[in-house]
Amino acid sequence: MTSTISGADGVMGTKESARLLGEDPVAWRRELHRHPEPGFGEFRTACLIHDFLQERGFHVRIAEEAMSRSAIHYLDEARVAESAGRAVLSGVDERLVERMKAGGTAVVADIGPVSGPVVAFRFDMDGLPIEESESAEHLPFVEGFGSQYSGLMHACGHDGHVAMGLGLAAELARAKDGLNAGVRLIFQPAEEGTMGGAEAIVARGLVDDVRYMICCHLGLGLPTGAIVCRSNFLATSKYRVDFHGIEAHVTNDPQSGRSALLAAAAAALGLHGIAPHSEGWFSLNVGTLRAGEAVGITPARATAEFGFWAETSRVHDYLEGRAREVIVGSAKTWGVDVEQRLIGRAPASLQSETLAAIVAECASRTSGVTEVRESAAVKGGEDGNVFLKNVANRGGHGVYIGIGSDLKGNHHTANFDIDERSLRIGVGVLCDTCLQLQQTLGESLKQ
Amino acid sequence: MTSTISGADGVMGTKESARLLGEDPVAWRRELHRHPEPGFGEFRTACLIHDFLQERGFHVRIAEEAMSRSAIHYLDEARVAESAGRAVLSGVDERLVERMKAGGTAVVADIGPVSGPVVAFRFDMDGLPIEESESAEHLPFVEGFGSQYSGLMHACGHDGHVAMGLGLAAELARAKDGLNAGVRLIFQPAEEGTMGGAEAIVARGLVDDVRYMICCHLGLGLPTGAIVCRSNFLATSKYRVDFHGIEAHVTNDPQSGRSALLAAAAAALGLHGIAPHSEGWFSLNVGTLRAGEAVGITPARATAEFGFWAETSRVHDYLEGRAREVIVGSAKTWGVDVEQRLIGRAPASLQSETLAAIVAECASRTSGVTEVRESAAVKGGEDGNVFLKNVANRGGHGVYIGIGSDLKGNHHTANFDIDERSLRIGVGVLCDTCLQLQQTLGESLKQ
Amino acid sequence: MTSTISGADGVMGTKESARLLGEDPVAWRRELHRHPEPGFGEFRTACLIHDFLQERGFHVRIAEEAMSRSAIHYLDEARVAESAGRAVLSGVDERLVERMKAGGTAVVADIGPVSGPVVAFRFDMDGLPIEESESAEHLPFVEGFGSQYSGLMHACGHDGHVAMGLGLAAELARAKDGLNAGVRLIFQPAEEGTMGGAEAIVARGLVDDVRYMICCHLGLGLPTGAIVCRSNFLATSKYRVDFHGIEAHVTNDPQSGRSALLAAAAAALGLHGIAPHSEGWFSLNVGTLRAGEAVGITPARATAEFGFWAETSRVHDYLEGRAREVIVGSAKTWGVDVEQRLIGRAPASLQSETLAAIVAECASRTSGVTEVRESAAVKGGEDGNVFLKNVANRGGHGVYIGIGSDLKGNHHTANFDIDERSLRIGVGVLCDTCLQLQQTLGESLKQ
Amino acid sequence: MTSTISGADGVMGTKESARLLGEDPVAWRRELHRHPEPGFGEFRTACLIHDFLQERGFHVRIAEEAMSRSAIHYLDEARVAESAGRAVLSGVDERLVERMKAGGTAVVADIGPVSGPVVAFRFDMDGLPIEESESAEHLPFVEGFGSQYSGLMHACGHDGHVAMGLGLAAELARAKDGLNAGVRLIFQPAEEGTMGGAEAIVARGLVDDVRYMICCHLGLGLPTGAIVCRSNFLATSKYRVDFHGIEAHVTNDPQSGRSALLAAAAAALGLHGIAPHSEGWFSLNVGTLRAGEAVGITPARATAEFGFWAETSRVHDYLEGRAREVIVGSAKTWGVDVEQRLIGRAPASLQSETLAAIVAECASRTSGVTEVRESAAVKGGEDGNVFLKNVANRGGHGVYIGIGSDLKGNHHTANFDIDERSLRIGVGVLCDTCLQLQQTLGESLKQ
């Protein structure tokens, strides 16, 4: 059995933790699983990564060096502050936390040749606002590495992604001197909700020099041993809409009231009635609605959140245009004002068949891989697409690799759990591919 | 039993008819009941009135002399043309019909002193698009004076109003030489739907010199013998709304379609959701909706008609403002264009307590009157309010008299029928009041 | 200037407070104003009343003796518990609080002859969830008797009602030996929201023997000095509706989701679209809506609260029937389950012209009264109507008296403030009327 | 130039026409193009086919022998009667028309061995309610073979389908004596709208013995010369919904009204809001809505038509279930009754890869064919799927062949026109495939 850092929860400094855990991805995954953190609140996770990479000779950027906060779409201040407090209590370096509170929780680390184009890998770090299962069927609970934080859980496998990233880092540290091209490891905050974690790193210029970009995800419905070279996610945007009506006594002065609640209700029905698009499938959902304070008062405030996921950029943009009409029109109908604010966004997949072919070849030789598929569709949005699109737009190559893992429970549910055997397979695929790519890149640079 | 003009339907000229019918209001009412005509299509009715009044020495204006067509809100061209054809076939003077086709069907006739302010009476002439009952309980059918025109019926008593107007005219003709002030009889088209029949007469300046104005209506829930001096009708407007969307194949190209049907549906629901007003009661109704042509095509056209009726002008205006927002907002929501067009309007009642007191006094002395009420609310709109408002705004006095009549069947139903005894009572009240008013007016002019 | 209990907030026992405050209604009003309590949470208020009345020889019932908790429509457990804790901290008798936590906060006290029909007065005790103004224009703040409790305020004058009740009590205590008939003072909880405070007292049988019943309210748009003998409130009901849909991932499995949010939205629009009623005016409002938790999940839960206020019982019942159809139909439309729960209710006014005449006569002789009106309409619901209806149904007489008070700020706003001069006028009217009624009743009993 | 039957429109009997036109598919196509007939009203078309086939030795079934009227989903009685009258005036055999008026317009004709399984071909005969273009760009107008019937047009190429069917028939007549298995030509009415034309023929048992079934369509976005062996159409259903509310005067008695218009509006919005399905794309459209008669009356009747088209049967059935909930729920919401009636239906494609391979092989050898594709998706429903599904369910093989044709104007538009060169290519593919299949079938029967 793999041990986790036990005793007083994390009161040990993270440097000690890092040493204690060694380089076993399973141990790391369990340590991370115990401490899920919300999007943009990954302070403890980022500190662990920072310490691990710095110790192994990486050039590590954090906070304002690793991301540009102004590119963030949305951030829950309260949750982030709470997470920072929790991280400090858990024993991580308070100065690092202070820097990250100001500049963000991204960690971007380079190794190998310092100039010229690089090979980059993206790993996401955030957990989800889900209460983890305490069922006797749920391994993390049974084995004692369930979430220590109420209402937070690594229910999408990002703990495993970080663990694989550290596994790749350890391997690169060992191979450092023989690297022909630079390798960059990007640990991004806030993938869930696509709230701008990727955009913020891109905005700092950290993919400008990326020739090959690899994102990856565990699970996705693939069995342990299966590898998909190109996982096609949907384009997505999420919005918050605030309707501002006019409060009034509903018996003394109903005519002066303008109900934000009714405007939001009409908008919700209208958004769900947007006509289909012949180019591809989509799903739109008004997920939350909060309106009004009292039965006898015209509700003057309503807030709704909605998102949409589309097979193509054209369908995405069509939805965005129609949604705006619905929202503005519904507000007008009910005589209220409205503000619409982007809180999440990721483009459709833009991937490289060339790079996918390299991945396929590498993966087919990796130990533990039993099946390699060229591509697969995934019904969800992914912030990784932000990296892939930017790299492609500058002439680089990117793919989003799916790493099979027999799951217990679906993604984003309280019983979600990965098959830990998939972690070593993933590390293997990433290392094999990385070594191949830096070599290819190094050779091309010589010419 | 009272005879009606029999034999070949109206092939006899109207002048002969007029002579044959004498001055019995019941005979006239039955003659008119047999020939209901639609709003702005009262050709035969107007010709009968014209001939009757001209023969008795009235100064009679018709067509463009009696009304200004440009002030009309709405007119059903096809129905009017059909009615004109029917009138000509029924034997009325074709030249009169031609003039009225160009200028309108109003008849306005003066008697008495030609200068100075006048006393005016309004009578409405139009029938309704209702198929008259052929029940054994329905007197007009049993007695053979049911509607001769399929789909048209005097189902609101306007036949009786005209008959009373002619009864008043006959009396005035006899009293002509003793009149101290001018008396004007206004026979207006198209009261139903308040489509602008009154506005058109007002726009011709024909109430500019009116000091006392009296409108009247039979029935209104009052028993035979009862008189209400001020009947308070509701303010009302009616609109037609045309939504113009974009047609598209719903499987090949649904994203290009913009459904006018859905815009109209949203507007209908939105209009019915307008908040109440503390100042008074109202009712709003979307009465008709026509949209789309085929199941497989995004419906690009939709037409709806709606109206509202309100206790006060302020409530009316509030509704008008909110309705516009709903319509524009719904069109915007569904990405379609929209046109909104007024098709009917009448203001709230603006009546004179002074005049009501005079009416009360006269009516209490009139034969057959058993009860006089100062005022009563009527849940409906009335074009007569257009006259009353204009007279009041120029410092004159107006009232809307309710003349009780035990009804068989409600207003606007196939079994509607008045108690014919109420006709003579009505003529009595109008004559008594008229003689009193012209005397009062005449005296005030001398001072 | 009138003093309030100062120093440590209420740490003085309430018996001492009661003594200190004497019998000045203004002093009492200010003391109560400082300590507003929520509906069914009027622990401190009830203890003060209890002590005041007991000391003056009333037979006082509280808790389960004064009300039947099972007749309550709705109660906010958390707010009530919080209020109980606050009351204990403020120094009131803990045993009384414990009894009232179990049985309710009503106080019903009798004085005079113990058998036979009685004269009853109702006073309401609850404050509102409003943050009181700290404006320099706001007298309670300036004079230091503003609310001590954040988020709670006597913004409807119930502090003044209780103060008038104590003023009447003091007078009755003095007149005790001469009373010809029993007099009952009912201090009811939770008038606001009509959540069943009155029903609970009625259900305990405490109006079964009431011959004359008087409710009263300060303000209501009347100037200081004016008295309205019959204030006609609207019939009202309030409901909470819970929609239970089915949660689903909106990209992986949207077809399995059933959106409670959309059901609630459709219901809200539908409720606002209920057709008018010819018998009278009404207003309906969906005041709150809470639905969904995440953008990417079909929202499975939605909760809405709505209320309606109608001029007549028939209109009220029509709305109730139609509302049920709208709610059930909307749930069906969106494939979700629904529960609808009554949280507030009061009938239309049912008042006695006979009693109103007595009140008018008494009031016209009361010092400070400048104007007496027979009746007035009030656009709001009133729990007092529950008492009046029950008394009327048993052959008794009831009225709801409006006691004019020049207000600063409207009812239910942060700047609401009564004119304290109206308190003594009110006490005067109530005393004069009470003495007259017990005499009338006493005489009738002798016969 | 190809001649059409000229002179007095069709006064010549159809037998003479048939003789005059010979066997040129272009001549037939033009003759048919001039006389488009509505669904279930293909009297003239069916008579021409009947005469042509009978003359060539086919065993021809028509009317009740060819179809079972009770299996029809929907039929427009007025249009069918009008079409029958027009057909008789055009000179076709009145006795045939009478039989078809009673039994339907299907024509099913057999040739070759009379027992054992058969090879079957389906051709559809109906035109569309579209006014044909008279543009100088529109060949049928320019060349004088545009529609002779106002408001009707062959705008989907069914004229070409019938012409190809006759071309195949002529070839089969020549090859008759050498046929090893029976061949059946099915000319079906009312393909457009999938109103049950196919179901009615299936219900008569006429595909029970079909081993190979071929449907075909010109155009479908394919260029002249291209052949698609399996065209995958969408599953579809169309419904008519009648809402029955309660009529009421909207000012006198609005509370008694129940608006069918609002129920239909809510249903329309609700239907368009049905959530997506992860298994496949769909489109739903409320295409028509008619409600109400007058502005002042609660609209008691509303009729809407809607359809949906889905990629899979599961998605189709999901929509059908949800639609029913929306309709029933919306009716309940607005307090009205509702009837929902199926007016069109066709299943998803169920085709044979085996047969497609045979078609591919034959087509690749056919003169004029430049490209053969295995399969293609078509965004539309097709009544041919009814035949294919029934044949597949009995163990037979079916395909739906797409026959490329460079189109002028889209399907179902006024400028639609096929490339007539595609007719001979189509006849070639059908003949080649038919001869191959009867031989294959004949051989299999011998074993």
Convert the pLDDT of each residue in B287-310 to its tens digit: 999 999 999 999 999 999 999 999
Q: How many angstroms separate the CA of residue D271 from the nearest CA in chain C?
A: 9
Q: Is the pLDDT assigned to residue C7 strictly greater than 70?
A: no
Q: Choose among D283, D296, D379: nearest Cβ to B285.
A: D296
Measured between alpha carbons, how far is B120 from B183 in angstroms, rounded to an integer?
6
- pLDDT tens digit string along C223-234? 999 999 999 999
pLDDT at position C8: 37
Whether complex ipTM tops 0.85: yes
Interchain CB distance below 8 Å, C272 and B276: no
Size of interface A-D (CB pairs under 8 A): 24
The secondary structure of residue B189, as a DSSP letter, is S
Q: Is the pLDDT assigned to residue D1 strictly greater than 60?
A: no
Residue C158 pLDDT grade (very low, low, confident, very high; cuts 50, 70, 90):
very high
Residue D269: list chain A partners with CB under 8 A.
269-270, 273
D contact chains, 3+ CB pairs < 8 A: A, B, C
Residue C145 in contact with residue C32, Cβ under 8 Å? no
Interchain CB distance below 8 Å, D275 and A280: no
Q: Is the pLDDT assigned to residue B1 strictly greater than 70?
A: no
Residue D16 pLDDT grade (very low, low, confident, very high; cuts 50, 70, 90):
low
Q: Is the pLDDT assigned to residue B281 strictly greater than 80?
A: yes
pLDDT at position B18: 63
In this prediction, residues D2-25 reach a mean pLDDT of: 57
B contact chains, 3+ CB pairs < 8 A: A, C, D
Interchain CB distance below 8 Å, C254 and D262: no
Residue D318: list chain C partners with CB under 8 A.
255
Please tell me which residue of chain B has the smallest CA distance to D381.
Answer: B251
B371: which strand partners? B226
In terms of pTM, does the model score above 0.90? yes
Q: Is the pLDDT assigned to residue B418 strictly greater than 90?
A: yes
Q: Which two tokens stand for residue C179?
A: 């009373």
Q: Does B275 touch chain C (CB under 8 A)?
A: yes
- β-strand D226-244 against D337-346: which pairing, if any? antiparallel
Q: Does C282 touch chain B (CB under 8 A)?
A: yes
Q: Is the pLDDT assigned to residue D419 strictly greater than 60?
A: yes
The percent of residues above 90 in pLDDT, for chain D, comes to 91
Q: Is the pLDDT assigned to residue C263 strictly greater than 80?
A: yes
Q: Choose among A251, A265, A294: nearest Cβ to C265.
A: A265
Interface mutation vs chain B, best among D194, D236, D247, D250, most B CBs within 10 Å: D250
pLDDT at position C22: 80
Q: Does B283 touch chain C (CB under 8 A)?
A: yes
Q: How many angstroms separate the CA of residue A251 from the nearest CA in chain C?
A: 5
Q: Does A297 touch chain C (CB under 8 A)?
A: yes
Interchain CB distance below 8 Å, D288 and B287: no
Q: Is the pLDDT assigned to residue B239 strictly greater than 80?
A: yes
Return the ∠ at Cα D136 (arms to D131 and D138), rounded to 5°.
55
Q: Does D324 touch chain C (CB under 8 A)?
A: no
Q: How many angstroms separate the CA of residue A195 from the nearest CA in chain B?
A: 27
**Residue linked to tokens 């010419």:** A447
- Those residues of chain A that have pLDDT short of 50 are 1-12
Interchain CB distance below 8 Å, D255 and C278: yes
Residue B23 pLDDT grade (very low, low, confident, very high; cuts 50, 70, 90):
confident
Measured between alpha carbons, how far is D141 from C103 in angstroms, rounded to an integer?
90
CB hemisphere CA count around C413 (13 angstroms): 14
φ/ψ of C274, rounded to 5, equals -65, 135
Run of H or E residues at B62: strand B59-62
Please tell me which residue of chain B has the smallest CA distance to D282.
Answer: B251
A270-274, C3-7, D67-71, D183-187: least confident range:
C3-7
Interface mutation vs chain B, best among D246, D255, D286, most B CBs within 10 Å: D286
The residue among B360, B370, B369 whose CA lies nearest residue B425 is: B369
Q: Does D270 touch chain C (CB under 8 A)?
A: yes
Q: Is the pLDDT assigned to residue C367 strictly greater than 60?
A: yes
Residue D265: list chain B partners with CB under 8 A.
264-266, 268-269, 289
Q: How many angstroms separate the CA of residue D250 from the nearest CA in chain C?
A: 8
Please tell me which residue of chain D has the smallest CA distance to B303.
Answer: D290
B121: which strand partners? B185, B214
Residue A220 in contact with residue A376, Cβ under 8 Å? yes
pLDDT at position D22: 80
A146-160, C6-20, C345-359, D12-26: least confident range:
C6-20
Q: Is the pLDDT assigned to residue B5 strictly greater than 70?
A: no
D60: which strand partners? D109
- β-strand C337-346 against D118-124: which pairing, if any? unpaired
Q: Does B302 touch chain D (CB under 8 A)?
A: yes
Q: Is B243 helix (H, G, I), strand (E, B) or coil?
A: strand
pLDDT at position A9: 43
Q: Which two tokens stand for residue C29?
A: 């009003």
Measured between alpha carbons, how far is residue A241 from residues A204, A263, A270, C247 in Å? 29, 11, 14, 22
Q: Does A306 touch chain C (CB under 8 A)?
A: yes
The percent of residues above 70 in pLDDT, for chain D, comes to 96
In this prediction, residues C172-192 reach a mean pLDDT of: 96
Residue D45 in contact with residue D9, Cβ under 8 Å? no
Residue B428 in contact with residue B364, Cβ under 8 Å? no
Q: Does D280 touch chain A (CB under 8 A)?
A: yes
Please tell me which residue of chain C has the smallest CA distance to A413.
Answer: C249
φ/ψ of D380, rounded to 5, equals -175, 165
Interchain CB distance below 8 Å, B252 and D379: yes
CB hemisphere CA count around B445 (13 angstroms): 18
Q: Which two tokens stand for residue A420?
A: 């830990």
Q: Is the pLDDT assigned to residue D10 strictly greater than 50?
A: no
Q: Is the pLDDT assigned to residue B17 strictly greater than 90?
A: no
Q: Choose among B238, B288, B298: nearest Cβ to D293.
A: B288
Q: If DSSP states are collapsed to H, E and C, what string results for chain D?
A: CCCCCCCCCCCCCHHHHHHHHCCCHHHHHHHHHHCCCCCCCCHHHHHHHHHHHHHCCCEEEEHHHCCCHHHCCCCCHHHHHHHHHHHHHCCCCHHHHHHHHHHCCCEEEEECCCCCCEEEEEEECCCECCCCCCCCCCHHHHCCCCCCCCCCECCCCHHHHHHHHHHHHHHHHHHHHHCCCEEEEEEECCCHHHCCHHHHHHHCCCCCCEEEEEEEEECCCCCCCEEEEEEEEEEEEEEEEEEECECCECCCCHHHCECHHHHHHHHHHHHHCCCCECCECEEEEEEEEEECCCCCECCCEEEEEEEEEECCHHHHHHHHHHHHHHHHHHHHHCCCEEEEEEEEEECCCCCCHHHHHHHHHHHHHCCCCCEEEEEEEEEEECCHHHHHHHHHHCCCEEEEEEECCCCECCCCCCCCECCCHHHHHHHHHHHHHHHHHHHHHHHHHHC
Interchain CB distance below 8 Å, C269 and A291: no
Interchain CB distance below 8 Å, B283 and C276: yes
Please tell me which residue of chain D has the smallest CA distance to B257.
Answer: D285
Q: Does C279 touch chain D (CB under 8 A)?
A: yes
Q: Which two tokens stand for residue C203?
A: 């259900």
Please tell me which residue of chain D has the smallest CA distance to A266.
Answer: D269
Residue A213 in contact with residue A388, Cβ under 8 Å? yes
Residue A315: list chain D partners with CB under 8 A.
none
Interchain CB distance below 8 Å, C270 and D328: no
